[in-house]
Structure 1
Amino acid sequence: MHTYPVHDDVFAYFKLKKNQVPFYILEQTITESTDLHHHDFVEFSFVLQGKALENIDGKTYEMTPGTARILPPNQIHAIEVDPQNPLHLYCCMFDFYLLLESPFDDQLAKSILQAGDTLPYYTKLDGSSYEEMHRLCKKIKRECTASYVGRNSAIRAALLEILLVYVRSFANQDLTEQSLHTETSNHIEWNIIHFVNKHFFQPLTIKDLSERFGVSSSYISKLFKRQLNTYFVDYLHALRIRRAKSLLLSTDMHIYEISVESGFDSFRTFSRLFKQATLLTPRDFRNARCIP
């Protein structure tokens, strides 16, 4: 019997309604390990007590008090919990669209969407940053469970504060405002980028995006170069290769199945691009049990 990652339908699980802000938060204690899974939402967690190990892309990360982490949509992961030291944490799930309501949130949106690449998945908060994050998590949970006037606006405002605390915790890294692209973009550009991040493992071409969003193919090519400093095809392949690496290291799926699950319609193309990106064949990569 092979191990396959499960897709979690967050809307169905939390019974979110169409007119409800696409956000949910739980303060929970996890006593049992979770299987490999992924979901369409961005996931943020902040650990208060306990200890666990999380597998992301085949690499293990330690979750301890003060740990905050971001996972972009469709990131495959699993958590191994010690029942003697259960994990007590806040877990937030939200649609990336919440970060697209203002063109001035481009920098924050870009950082969150590229977690695991230009921004680490994990950070460790202590002292005042820990207290601030704890306060914001309690605030957003209170807003989420109440029916105050402006509830949706308050949730989004608190979420932005939470994400800023997370991003700014990497103060010693080259993530300053000067190092990021500062030109604001219109809403449709991030809609397109977000759509690609949600559907990259499905058949997808520039022509498909052009027809779906009513813009020219050249416009799409230019926006990926302008916003992410890469070309559409290269970005699409990078997302698919990252998914393939995660599946190779965290499941026992057949390599051909992984190529299909990652969005490649040609096994030959998958093998060529994988070796080009990692300098290893998929089989050798799995046997090496490492992340370049």
Structure 2
Amino acid sequence: MAYWENADHSWTQDSKRLINTPSQKNKELFFYIQEVGYFKAFQPYYTERENLPSFLMKFTLSGSGKLSYLGKEYVLEEGTVFLIDCRHYQHYKTISKEPWEMDWIHFYGGNSIPLFQEFIKDGSSIFHTKTSPKENVIHHLVHRLIQEQEAINARTEFKSSILIHELLNELILQKYELDFAVEDIPDFVIKLKEFLNNHFKETLTLGDLENRFHLNKYQLNKEFSKYIGIPPIEYLINKKISYAKDLLRYTSSSIKDISLEIGIENFAYFSRLFKMKTGMTPTFYRRQG
């Protein structure tokens, strides 16, 4: 289907809208800006569109707006962020009496699609930030991108790509509350990680870890995943596979012995697991090394 758009451009004179036309080379190499800006948009400001190959992020600084997207409606209050795929129908508008003040960016390219999928893995396109909007890293990153577009030079596309990537990472970190300090990691998570590092050659289940650490296995799984990035059993498997890689490359041990060394008695299962994790059989990996 063809792209279409309807809109009312009711925004203040101090609003900014910068449109970029990247070269084909930049499209192939980088994350790239399509448009970026800062708006104070008053009623009856709105936009509705469909089938635009672009991702759109808006961050509400003050006032409020309303988004209709994928059959749902969201009120966009101060501190609210949305990130959407503009190929799907969307409609957003100002609903507050005062202007809806926002940072925004249309972008594409690079790893936009998988990072967008990571952002929406919980089924939601929005979240609410915890810090004051104008002190938030998201706000500062968008304004750095605006500054780059206002003073274009030979490095602009390189720097803009890095900033877009940083922005997407920041959106994911803040949405899933991963922007924590190392000292915030609970002691039991640190101890569990150390235990897995020291005992990865053993055969362990989530039930074994539950009994050892005297915590509900669901809590163990949730908290370890939050702070380490993956569940404890997946972490254990990754340690086993990493060690198996080392043995395959730098020793002459048989594949069966390596399987037993890392605590997997079923040689066929080890081969399937290794291929699932690396895309190669143990034999092929050894030959490539």
TM-score (norm. length: structure 1): 0.49
Greater fraction of residues in strand: 2
* Higher RCO, 1 vs 2 (CA within 8 Å, ≥6 residues apart): 1
Q: Which structure is larger by alpha-carbon Rg, 1 or 2?
A: 2
